[in-house]
Structure 1
Amino acid sequence: MATKISQLKQDFTESLSQISRFWGFPKGMGTIFAVLYLSPTPLALDEITAQTGLTKGAVSTEVRTLARMGLVHRSSKLGDRKDYYEAETDFYTSIRSILKERQNSEFDRALRGVRETLEKLESGSTSGDEAEIQFLIERVQALQDFFDAIDSLTNAVIKLERLGLGNVKTILGVLK
């Protein structure tokens, strides 16, 4: 039995919603991006609202966030006062935008917190059992090293876009 296109679109939309939540974004943001990505033409807010089942206020808020991140683009039609939106289809641009957004907010705060904790532990101003302090230094340092590696990897992925898709595929093929 053949699967209907509408069911496939719904399944795809649900998958992107889950990915959105995984990356720490609202489920609705993934839903909106999926609807726009699967649309052959730009959509107005009321069309997005109808297709997602989200409120117009939620759609408006999420679309503005997606636009700020560079994941959707706004356009207009001559003689029409509505704004229309379409998804960014270059995945390297999309991933770079997501990584920059995450890196610039939560990741930087977390990294700063780990660094501050390590500095306090290493400064000698922490009172307590010396063996426990040394244990904590080792553990926090290991996490700091991991975060530094993730930060470097994120920066590398952000820079990969400049190489172009063919070169990125070649590089990733070598790494397999």
Structure 2
Amino acid sequence: MTNHNEKDHFESVNNQIISEFSKTLEMFSLNKTEAQLFVTLYLNNGPMTLDDMKEELGKSKTAMSYAIRRLLEFNLVERVWQKGIRKDLYEAREDLYKKFMKTYVNRWLESLNRQMNNLSDIKEELNDSNLELKSSFEHKINEAISFHRSLEEVFAKIKKNDFL
């Protein structure tokens, strides 16, 4: 009877770890399923198939397939090979801090660049117009661009200083 209670307790603790760790990962723009899957792979002692993931998380194979593709795109998991196993196997990459920070910083830099380009395009459109409030709009756009540049400088320093 004790063995059954220990197994239930282990599962409860494992689920709590997955839940709490997943909340942190969601701050890095992973959705709930992706975060839970990553934590599951990270905590697992070996690689897992899509069927293993489906069973472990109680989600559809399609959901697992989509989530694993996203985690592969973020370079957070890797496909591994084991002799005699035909199904694809996946495992979490190690060195979490560097992987997440690199992904996070790069995503911020890409987003900031895109936003600054969009704001510059809006500013160009404004220059071609004869709006009465043109100077007010122009001032606000310049402030927004300056804000984005300040953020870009911070993230570029993080990237450059090899915190990643």
* TM-score for both structures, normalised by structure 2: 0.79
Cα offset, 1:133, TM superposition? 2.1
Residue of structure 1 aligned with 2:62, choices 57, 61, 74: 57
2:139 aligned with 1:138, yes or no?
A: yes
Cα offset, 1:108, TM superposition? 3.7
Structural RMSD (CA): 2.5
Q: Which has the higher contact order (CA 8 A, sep 6+)?
A: 2
- Which residue does 1:128 correspond to in 2? 131
Residue of structure 2 aligned with 1:100, choices 88, 96, 106: 106
Q: Tell me the secondary structure at the aligned position of residue 43 of structure 1.
A: coil
Cα distance per residue 1:126-159 (max 9 Å; x no partner): 2222xx3222222221111111122222233333
Q: Tell me the secondary structure at the aligned position of residue 90 of structure 2.
A: strand
The answer for unaligned runs of 5 or more in structure 1 is 165-176
2:50 aligned with 1:45, yes or no?
A: yes
- Which residue does 1:150 correspond to in 2? 151
Letter aligned with residue 83 of structure 1: D
Q: Does the Cα contact within 8 Å between 2:18 and 2:39 map onto a contact in 1?
A: yes
2:113 aligned with 1:112, yes or no?
A: no
> Share of identical aligned residues, percent?
20
Cα distance per residue 1:75-133 (max 9 Å; x no partner): 011111122211122111222023324543x4443232112123333x3x22222xx32
Letter aligned with residue 91 of structure 2: E
Letter aligned with residue 153 of structure 2: S
* TM-score for both structures, normalised by structure 1: 0.74
Residue of structure 2 aligned with 1:14, choices 7, 14, 19: 19
In structure 2, what is the Cα distance between the partners aligned to 1:67 and 1:18? 20
Letter aligned with residue 137 of structure 2: L
2:27 aligned with 1:26, yes or no?
A: no
Q: Does the Cα contact within 8 Å between 2:79 and 2:91 map onto a contact in 1?
A: yes
Letter aligned with residue 126 of structure 1: S
Q: How many residues align?
A: 156
The answer for unaligned runs of 5 or more in structure 2 is 1-7
Q: Does the Cα contact within 8 Å between 1:73 and 1:85 map onto a contact in 2?
A: yes
Q: Tell me the secondary structure at the aligned position of residue 81 of structure 1.
A: coil
